[in-house]
Structure 1
Amino acid sequence: MLGFAVDNAVTDDGLQPARLTVDLLRPVALEPVQVQTSVRRSGRRLHLLDATMVQHGVEVGRASALYLRRGDQPPGDRWTTPVTMPPLPPDPPDLDDEVKTLVWTYGKDGKTPSRGLGAWAYDGPKHMWVRDLIPLVDGVTLTPFTRAAMAGDMASSLTHFGADGLPFINADYTLALSRLRRSEYLGLAALTHHSDDGVATGTAVLVDTDGPIGTATATALANPGFAPSRSIG
C-alpha cells in the first residue's frame, strides 16, 4: 500500500522508481488505514518522497522512495552474478476465484513448482514466480511498480526460510529497481542469507520473463514460536 501511494504521487513518466524502503513498525489489521505522502526533494534528476501509514491513530508503517531520471545507457558490459530461473508453469485450470496472488515456489530440485512454502524447507537455493490477480485498491489497476513493491515484500520469506521453517520475521525491506517489469509474472531468486544472534539479512534478485530487474533485501529478527502457514492461496 505504501508503494502504491508513492507511485500515485509521481506523475512524471520520465522518472524511474529506483528504490523503495519500507519499515514495518507494527502489525497491520485487515481494517481501513490512512496513507499520506510528502515530497522531500524534487529535482531535475531525482525525486525523493516519504509515506506514512496510520491505523487507529497509530503509525504502523513508513516508506522512503527514490525516483531517478531515465537517460542514455552507457556503452559496455558489466559483470553481475548469473541468475537462472525455473521455467514458468502453466496457470492451474482449477484456480479458486478467491485467490488474490498466484505464487509458485521452487526448492530442492529447482524444477518442480509448488503452491506452498514447504518446497523451501531445506538448506539450498530457492526461487519463486508470482502474479497478482486482483487490484490492491478496488477499481484501480495495479501499476508495474506496485506489483514490484508487493513482490519485494516476499524476499524475507524466500531468503530466511530453512529446513526448520521460517524462524525470522522481517522488520523492513528495500526494493531496488533498474527498470520496471515487462511481464505479468515476477520472479525472485534467493541470493544470500546471513544471520547471527537472532538478527538476519537476506537478498533476492527480482526478475521478469526478460531477465533481472533489481534486488530486494530484508532484515529480520528471530521470533520464537513464529510458524506461518506453508499454504498459499
Structure 2
Amino acid sequence: MTAYFERLGETTFRATGATEGAWNVEEQHIAPTFGLLAHLMQLEHASRHEHPLTLAKVTYDILGVIPIDVVEVTVRVLRPGRTIELMEAMLSHDGRPAAVGRAWFLNAHDTADVAGAAFPAMPARDGMPKWDAPDWPGAFVRTPDIRRVEDFPGRAHAWVRPLLPLIEGEQVGPTARMLGYVDLANGLTPRVVPGDAAFPNLDLSAHLLREPVGEWIGFDTTMSIGPGGLGITHTVLHDDEGPVGTSVQELTVRPLPGRSGS
C-alpha cells in the first residue's frame, strides 16, 4: 500500500486497502476522505485565485458508510468572494452521497503582534511510547506512527506522524494532509472498550489558527459521554511550534447487545 487513494480522473478516485476502517474492515475509515475533500476544495479554490485565501474552518458530515472502492467527488462554490469564500465538496459512491465537507477560506492579515493562545502545551514525544491501537481492527489506524500517553480512558495526548501520502503521486498541502488524520482522535482514548459499545462520529469540525508545519500532528484529546447516548470528542491540534486549531466530533454512543451497559 503506497497511498490512501489513486486518482483515476478529474473527479474519480480509487480507495486502497490502506483506508480499511476500524468499525468495519470492509468499509473505509472516514479520516482519509476528510483529507481528500479538503485537498480538492483547496485545488479548485487555487485555480480561481491568483493569491489563494487561507482555509480557516471546515465542517464535515458523514452521510453513510463508504466501501473500499471507486468514489467520485464534486466541488462547488457556495459563496464566492475576494476576501471570504465558502466551498463544498461532496463524495459519492455509486451515485449515493456518503460525505460532505464545507470550508471557509479567509483573507490573510498580519496579526503577529497580537498572536497567542492559552491552550496547554503538548508533552514532548521523546520517550512517549509507541501505540499500535490494540483494541482497533483495520489497516488505517496502523498506517501512521502514533505515540500516546493516556491519563485515563477519555483523556490522552498523542503525536501522529503520517507515513503514507493521501493520493498516489500527487502533492498535498499541509492543512489537507493534517485533516486526513484528525478523525483518529475519536479512537485515541475511548471511555468505553470498543467491544462493549459503538461510538462512531456523525461529523467533524475543525477551526484553524494557521497552517501546520513539520511531520508530526499533536492531539490533546478528551472524550465525553452523556447519559442519553450522545458523546463529544474534543481535540486541540498541535505541531512542533504550538497550537494549530481545534476539532470536535459528535458521537452516537450505542451499548452493544450482551455487553456491559446494554
- Please classify the TM superposition score into its range, dividing by the shorter chain length: 0.7 to 0.9
Q: Which residue matches 1:153? A: 183
Secondary structure, counterpart of 2:200 in structure 1:
strand
CA 102–196 in structure 1, closer or farther in 2 if over 3 Å, else same = same
Q: Which residue matches 1:113? A: none
Number of residues of Structure 1 aligned to a counterpart in Structure 2: 207
Q: Which residue matches 2:92? A: 54
Q: Please, which of 38, 43, 54 is the counterpart of residue 3 of structure 1?
A: 38
Q: Please, which of 18, 38, 45 is the counterpart of residue 83 of structure 2?
A: 45
Secondary structure, counterpart of 2:181 in structure 1:
helix
Q: Deviations over 1:40-78 (max 9, x none)?
A: 112122111011011011001111001111102064466
Q: Which residue matches 1:162? A: 191
Deviation of 1:14 after TM superposition, in Å, equals: 4.5
CA 145–89 in structure 1, closer or farther in 2 if over 3 Å, else same = farther
Map 1:202-221 → 2, pairs under 5 A: 202-221=233-252
Distance 2:123 2:191 in 1: 19
Distance 2:154 2:199 in 1: 17
Q: Which residue matches 2:135? A: none
Secondary structure, counterpart of 2:74 in structure 1:
strand
* Residue type of the alignment partner of 1:162: R
In structure 1, the gaps of 5 or more residues are: 93-97, 109-121, 227-233
Q: Deviations over 1:153-194 (max 9, x none)?
A: 1222236x1253464110110111111111111111014625
Contact 1:20 1:174 in 2 (8 A): yes
Distance 2:225 2:191 in 1: 12
Q: Deviations over 1:95-117 (max 9, x none)?
A: xxx96322222213xxxxxxxxx
CA 198–41 in structure 1, closer or farther in 2 if over 3 Å, else same = same
Contact 2:92 2:99 in 1 (8 A): yes
Map 1:1-233 → 2, pairs under 5 A: 1-11=36-46, 12=49, 13-73=51-111, 75-76=113-114, 80-88=118-126, 100-108=143-151, 122-123=152-153, 125-158=155-188, 161-165=190-194, 167-191=198-222, 193-225=224-256
TM-score after normalising by structure 1? 0.79
Q: Is the deviation greater in 73-82 or in 33-42?
A: 73-82
CA 84–35 in structure 1, closer or farther in 2 if over 3 Å, else same = same
Secondary structure, counterpart of 1:34 in structure 2:
strand
Contact 2:191 2:224 in 1 (8 A): no
Distance 1:148 1:65 in 2: 15
Deviation of 1:200 after TM superposition, in Å, equals: 1.0
CA 42–129 in structure 1, closer or farther in 2 if over 3 Å, else same = same
RMSD value, Cα: 2.6
Contact 1:85 1:189 in 2 (8 A): no
CA 17–79 in structure 1, closer or farther in 2 if over 3 Å, else same = closer
Q: Is the deviation greater in 29-38 or in 67-76?
A: 67-76
Q: Identity over aligned residues, as a percent?
A: 24
Distance 1:171 1:71 in 2: 33
* Residue type of the alignment partner of 2:103: A
Contact 1:21 1:174 in 2 (8 A): yes
